[in-house]
Amino acid sequence: MKILVAVKRVVDANVKVRVKADNSGVDLTNAKMAINPFCEIAVEEAIRLKEKGQAEEVIVVSIGDKACHEQIRTALALGADRGIHVDTEDGLQPLAVAKLLHAIVQREAIGLVLVGKQSIDTDNNQVAQMLAALAGMPQGTFACGVEVQDGKLKVVREIDGGEQTVLLSLPAVVSTDLRLNEPRYASLPNIMKAKKKPIDTLTPADLGVSVASRLRTLSVEPPPERSAGIKVASVDELIHRLKTEAKVI
């Protein structure tokens, strides 16, 4: 079984982002970039499945400009076997990403697709579901447990109020949640080995996919600053303020 893992290049989770002065987007000048944390969990899970002998190859794909090679090399250093870079300068919408991944799934005869449940920049949480629909594959979203059993995939899902266990036929699409695993750190020998692992470069045209955007960003604004809280002298004053000022009771 081949496993395809999608990784997205995003601003590091520890960086405080700033909005551009013209409100056209987020200022990424000199910002530290990294693999999306949910995608990193997907990479770790794919590598664990291979280490258990349940997968033959782990392929990492990233979509974007040439800077994405950095994130692909990081995933290769963690243990993935080879990378695919879909080279495009366009800011892609989730449907375009799902179509590109679908084309790669067909091209590579993929048995399992692992993606992060969402990216920390746009928070759309759409690619896995769209890919499953396009490919006609069963899906297990928000996975906190993944296990191969008798040629099928057992997925434990995070749901409101608890967990749900589903049994999927392969090939399938799984989106990973935070509790699935703890990603490893890349060792120095593996970082050196990753430099020799192959990365194929494709374009959307090579995959026969149009990535024309159907959405236009009108403006991006930072959230309003929260006002400081106040202390009240009594319960009666609290109730009065909730009624007259907050108007929540």
Cα first-last separation, the chain: 58
Helix ranges restricted to H, the chain: 37-51, 69-78, 94-108, 127-135, 188-194, 235-241
Cβ 43 vs Cβ 7: under 8 Å:
yes
Using the structure block, give the residue that is written with the tokens 């899902």.
157
Residue 6, pLDDT score: 97
What CATH number is attached to the domain comprising 63? Answer: 3.40.50.620
Q: What is the pTM of this model?
A: 0.87
Q: Do the domain assignments include residue 46?
A: yes
Nearest partner of 39 among 146, 178, 188, 197, judged by Cα = 178
141-148 long-range contacts, CB within 8 A, separation 24+: 141/117, 141/174, 141/175, 142/117, 142/175, 142/177, 143/174, 143/175, 143/176, 143/177, 143/180, 144/177, 144/178, 144/179, 144/180, 145/180, 146/45, 146/49, 146/174, 146/180, 148/49, 148/52, 148/54
Residue 30, pLDDT score: 87
Q: Do the domain assignments include residue 16?
A: yes
Cβ 175 vs Cβ 143: under 8 Å:
yes
Residue 99, pLDDT score: 97
Q: Do the domain assignments include residue 227?
A: no
- Block means of pLDDT (10 residues each) for the chain, 249 residues, are 96 90 87 95 97 96 95 97 94 93 96 96 94 97 94 94 94 96 94 95 94 86 85 92 87
Name the region of 151 (left: φ>0; alpha: ψ -120 to 50; beta: rest): left
In the chain the beta strands, taken as DSSP E runs, fall at 2-6, 9-11, 18-19, 26-27, 33-35, 57-64, 82-87, 112-116, 139-149, 152-159, 162-169, 172-176, 199-202
**Domains contained in the chain, number:** 1
Q: Evaluate the CA torsion angle 25, 27, 33, 34 in order and state its sign.
A: negative
Residue 141, pLDDT score: 96
Q: Do the domain assignments include residue 98?
A: yes
Nearest partner of 68 among 3, 6, 129, judged by Cα = 6
Q: Do the domain assignments include residue 13?
A: yes
Q: Do the domain assignments include residue 168?
A: yes
Q: Do the domain assignments include residue 82?
A: yes
Neighbours of 19 (CB within 10 A): 15
Q: Which domain holds residue 46?
A: 2-219
What is d(CA 13, CA 111) in angstroms, rounded to the nearest whole number? 31
Residue 107, pLDDT score: 95
| Angle of CA points 119, 122, 107, to nearest 5° | 55
Q: Do the domain assignments include residue 248?
A: no
